[in-house]
Amino acid sequence: MGGTKKKTLASMEKSQDEDSTDASKAGGAKKKTTTKEVKGPGERRRVDVLMPKLSDAEFMKPLSSMKAITIYTAARSLNVNASVARTILASLETKGFVRRVGGFSGHYVWAPISRA
């Protein structure tokens, strides 16, 4: 919203003339310009999450009584952040403790698999 306004043509010409006279007074020496390194658009910094040191059975204790498990209900019952709960649920899914039963676009619903 704020910022500098666009200069008029007359004032741009004056500043251009001043730059050319300054260069001629300095004996024609050119000013050195430095280039800044630009990071690519795909470069991201990876942030690791701190996982609690519990076994899979200890993770499943509070979750096994639930019919439907979401990221936020798991985070609340395990007393961890949502990002940590998402990592825990993904690892439990790969190990076969829970299965995904619904949801879409990152908001999934899991159900515990009963071990008989």
Question: pLDDT-derived band of residue 38, with 50, 70 and 90 as boundaries?
Answer: low
Q: Among positive and negative, which fits the CA dihedral 24, 28, 29, 35? A: positive
- Ordered domains of the chain (ranges, CATH): 56-112 (1.10.10.10)
The pTM is what?
A: 0.54
Q: Which of 62, 43, 42, 44 is nearest to 54 (CA)?
A: 62
Per-residue model confidence (pLDDT) at position 94: 92
Per-residue model confidence (pLDDT) at position 105: 87
Residue range 41-99, pLDDT digits in tens: 667 666 666 677 777 788 888 888 888 999 999 999 988 889 889 988 998 899 999 99
Per-residue model confidence (pLDDT) at position 37: 62
Per-residue model confidence (pLDDT) at position 64: 86
Q: Is residue 109's pLDDT more than 90? A: yes
Q: What is the rounded distance in angstroms from the CA atom of residue 87 to the CA atom of residue 90?
A: 5
Record the tokens describing residue 85, joined without a space. Answer: 């709960």
> What is the rounded end-to-end Cα distance, in angstroms, of the chain?
64
DSSP assigned state of 44? -
